[in-house]
Chains A and B, each alone.
Chain A
Amino acid sequence: MTATGASLGSTAIEGKLRSPARPYGKKRSIMPGFGITFGFTIFYLCLIVLVPLSAVFVRSAGLGPAHFVDVGFSARAMASYRLSFGAAAAAAAVNSVFGLLIAWVLVRYEFPGRRLVSAMVDLPFALPTAVAGIALTAIYAPNGWLGQYLEPLGMKVAYTPLGVVVALVFVGLPFVVRSVEPVLADLGHDVEEAAASLGAGRVDTFTRVILPAIGPALLTGFALAFARGVGEYGSVIFIAGNMPFVSEVSPLLIVTQLEQYDYAGATAIASVMLVASFALLLVINLIQIWSRKRMAA
């Protein structure tokens, strides 16, 4: 292959290059009102999020450091963290896979009942979580619809950590589907066709073209589903069995403390959960910023 002798006119070569993204502060924006909107955002977040949350810390501070550690990091609390965070992560992972699949089907195929399926995806949002918990328990209990077939196979779902995961999969599904759906729709068919025209098979096209493009959105869905899972209470308590050290989630432990009028103890556990959740979500956000930056300058 040799270079052609023809050359492009200067316009084509020099073509307006967009300068690499500048930090926001240095760029004059055509959108006025940054000061006001930013100020309001901070104020609003303080009012709705920060103030109530700091109340948790203030309350727990009443315990004193030694007692705080005793309650917040007791063996039982630690076991509940492991379950809550572990199950939430597992459920979010499951939802990432199947949520992506559902989003894919909803975006890419036109089929009768598509709207119905789409509406079904949102049901876990609308359903009172206790209803979901009761329904799931009825299905997965050893004598339930599904449970009776799983039991002989040695699979126990209800009243085990696995049951917790099942409940969290249920409540977290919409987050992944709804995060991924618009990005997938926007991705367009033509990049897939371009990959195929370059000789890429389905697997290469998926792993190297589609997945990286929807990665940030998928991560958002994962983060939302995860966050929801960590805090989930209503649907879990019915199916979990709530055995301390085995199938007791942190939110339940907090409620238990409250029922014993141990408010400081409850807030200690809540504080630990808060910090851990915040740290994890921050990490996810940073990964997102990093991956977004690579795509759009």
Chain B
Amino acid sequence: MGITVSGISKRFGAFTALGDIDLEARPGEFLALLGPSGSGKTTLLRIIAGLEFPDTGTVAFDGVDVTNQPITDRGVGFVFQQYALFRHMTVADNVAFGLTVRKRSTRPAKAEIARRVEELLDLVQLKDLGKRYPAQLSGGQRQRVALARALAVEPRILLLDEPFGALDAKVRKDLRRWLRELHDRMGLTSIFVTHDQEEALELADRVVVMDHGVIEQVSAPEAIYNDPASAFVFDFVGESNRLPVSVRGGRAHFGGHAFDVATDGTRDGDATLFFRPHDVEIVGAGAAALPAVVSLARPRGGGTRIEARIEGREAPLELDYTGDAPPRPGDRIGVRPLRARLFPAG
């Protein structure tokens, strides 16, 4: 089921939580809302769910306007950040809830409900825990109960608010791969909120990067990483170095050194040069490159992470070196950024 969000804005008092949001989720798509805390991700998700109502704009499911429909009628599955399980009900009763509150005419028979609950618990791999209470489960298990409960009403749309936020790293990795599988098998259209760029890039078909209540970029994960649309996106989705430069005659200048970079569209004047730690060439001192002094070198991954100080900049550069003879602290090196990006100074 496709989701179309057009011209949504939302204010809380004088504070604009969302400004003029347009967004489309195609049927079957797995979309990530990525952004720092307070960027409006939850608010947008809640508006799509019908838990919050926008000041302007519309939400449509498969072209049908649902803006004024309450959540009860929208038929979406919503997984809350803190799971919001019913503490006084067993796991099985939690999962069955959506079925047992149906009107008598559409409510399945008791045996049928029990069978469905069994099936769902099996699906989320909690087969034998139906009789427990939520307080007797681990975080990852509660997460899956919340998911089973949301899926019980057979939603076409699944909305998840920081679904892995409260879990430890290993459980989180397992769970997200599994969630992706589930999404594909059940033919859902899903949107999940996260502030973890790795999670968004690994899991989603497309990533929606948000900041201060506006969408900065909507792209496939590779494009988000390799072709960020703004300085904010570049910085947020990966490690980055930034250099204040001035652009003149198609080149970027920093303290007497000039770089060849794609200046497309950047007007002459002040700008910020961004490059990732692994997108550099480290050469000997004296070569035509930015001179730097290594202040720290330690192994990381397959190579060496280097921190190097340059003149005229307080924070050291973070660089990755993958060769056999990593420079040592105190060494003078030359740094040549590759695939650097220019964004207007801001």
- Contact partners of A12 in chain B: CB under 8 A: 125, 140, 170-171, 174-175, 178
- Cα of A209 to Cα of B101 in the assembled complex, Å: 11
- The chain B residue with its CB closest to the CB of A202 is B72
User: Which of A1-9, A83-91, A223-231 lies on the face that meets chain B?
Assistant: A1-9
Take A15-B141, A198-B98, A198-B149 as given contacts and tell me if A8 and B174 are in contact as well, using a CB distance cutoff of 8 Å.
yes
- The chain B residue with its CB closest to the CB of A11 is B170
* B283 interfacial contact with A, CB 8 Å: no
* B313 interfacial contact with A, CB 8 Å: no
Take A204-B101, A296-B135, A297-B136 as given contacts and tell me if A193 and B125 are in contact as well, using a CB distance cutoff of 8 Å.
no
* B104 interfacial contact with A, CB 8 Å: no
Take A15-B141, A17-B137, A199-B102 as given contacts and tell me if A193 and B182 are in contact as well, using a CB distance cutoff of 8 Å.
no
Q: Is the CB of A8 within 8 A of B178?
A: yes
Nearest-neighbour CB distance to chain B for A203, whole angstroms, equals: 10
- Contact partners of A213 in chain B: CB under 8 A: 86-88
Q: Is the CB of B51 within 8 A of A197?
A: yes
- Contact partners of B86 in chain A: CB under 8 A: 191, 194-195, 209, 213
- Cα of A210 to Cα of B120 in the assembled complex, Å: 25
* B78 interfacial contact with A, CB 8 Å: yes
Nearest-neighbour CB distance to chain B for A200, whole angstroms, equals: 4
- The chain B residue with its CB closest to the CB of A192 is B84
- Cα of A193 to Cα of B70 in the assembled complex, Å: 11
Q: Is the CB of B171 within 8 A of A212?
A: no
- Cα of A295 to Cα of B132 in the assembled complex, Å: 10
- The chain B residue with its CB closest to the CB of A18 is B136
- Cα of A1 to Cα of B151 in the assembled complex, Å: 10
The secondary structure that dominates the B interface is helix
Interface size on A, residues (CB 8 A): 39
Nearest-neighbour CB distance to chain B for A28, whole angstroms, equals: 20
Q: 1/0 contact trace for B96-115 toward A, CB 8 Å?
A: 01100110000000000000
Contact among A190, A191, A199, A201 with B98 in the assembled complex (CB-CB below 8 Å): A199
Chain B interface size band reads 35 or more
Nearest-neighbour CB distance to chain B for A178, whole angstroms, equals: 22
Q: Is the CB of A191 within 8 A of B140?
A: no
Q: Is the CB of A295 within 8 A of B133?
A: yes
- Cα of A4 to Cα of B71 in the assembled complex, Å: 28
Nearest-neighbour CB distance to chain A for B250, whole angstroms, equals: 50
* A127 interfacial contact with B, CB 8 Å: no
Q: Is the CB of A295 within 8 A of B88?
A: yes
- Cα of A82 to Cα of B120 in the assembled complex, Å: 53
Q: Which of A157-212 contact B (CB under 8 A)?
A: 188, 190-191, 193-201, 204, 208-209, 212
Q: Is the CB of A188 within 8 A of B84?
A: yes
Q: Which of B114-164 contact A (CB under 8 A)?
A: 119-120, 122-123, 125, 133, 135-141, 149-154
Q: Is the CB of B170 within 8 A of A20?
A: no
* B76 interfacial contact with A, CB 8 Å: yes
- Cα of A195 to Cα of B78 in the assembled complex, Å: 10
* B49 interfacial contact with A, CB 8 Å: yes
Nearest-neighbour CB distance to chain A for B230, whole angstroms, equals: 33
* A16 interfacial contact with B, CB 8 Å: yes
Q: 1/0 contact trace for A3-44 toward B, CB 8 Å?
A: 111111101110111101000000000000000000000000
* B186 interfacial contact with A, CB 8 Å: yes
Q: 1/0 contact trace for B167-184 toward A, CB 8 Å?
A: 000110111011001100
- Contact partners of A6 in chain B: CB under 8 A: 177-178, 181-182
- The chain B residue with its CB closest to the CB of A291 is B88
- Cα of A86 to Cα of B123 in the assembled complex, Å: 53
Contact among A7, A18, A190, A215 with B80 in the assembled complex (CB-CB below 8 Å): A190
Nearest-neighbour CB distance to chain B for A212, whole angstroms, equals: 4
Q: Which of A124-151 contact B (CB under 8 A)?
A: none
Take A200-B97, A204-B101, A295-B88 as given contacts and tell me if A194 and B181 are in contact as well, using a CB distance cutoff of 8 Å.
no
- Contact partners of B141 in chain A: CB under 8 A: 15
- Contact partners of A197 in chain B: CB under 8 A: 49, 51, 71-72, 76-78, 150
Q: Which of A250-297 contact B (CB under 8 A)?
A: 294-297
- Contact partners of B135 in chain A: CB under 8 A: 18, 295-297
Inter-chain pairs besides A13-B125, A191-B86, A212-B89, 16 sampled, C-beta below 8 Å? A2-B185, A3-B122, A9-B171, A9-B173, A12-B140, A12-B171, A15-B139, A15-B140, A17-B136, A191-B84, A191-B85, A193-B78, A194-B78, A197-B78, A212-B88, A215-B88
The 6 closest A-B pairs by CB, nearest first: A15-B138, A198-B98, A6-B181, A9-B174, A190-B84, A194-B84
Would you list 20 pairs from A and B whose C-beta atoms are within 8 A, ordered by A residue? A1-B151, A4-B178, A6-B177, A8-B174, A8-B178, A12-B170, A15-B137, A18-B136, A193-B71, A194-B78, A194-B80, A194-B85, A196-B70, A197-B72, A198-B149, A199-B102, A201-B72, A201-B101, A212-B88, A295-B88
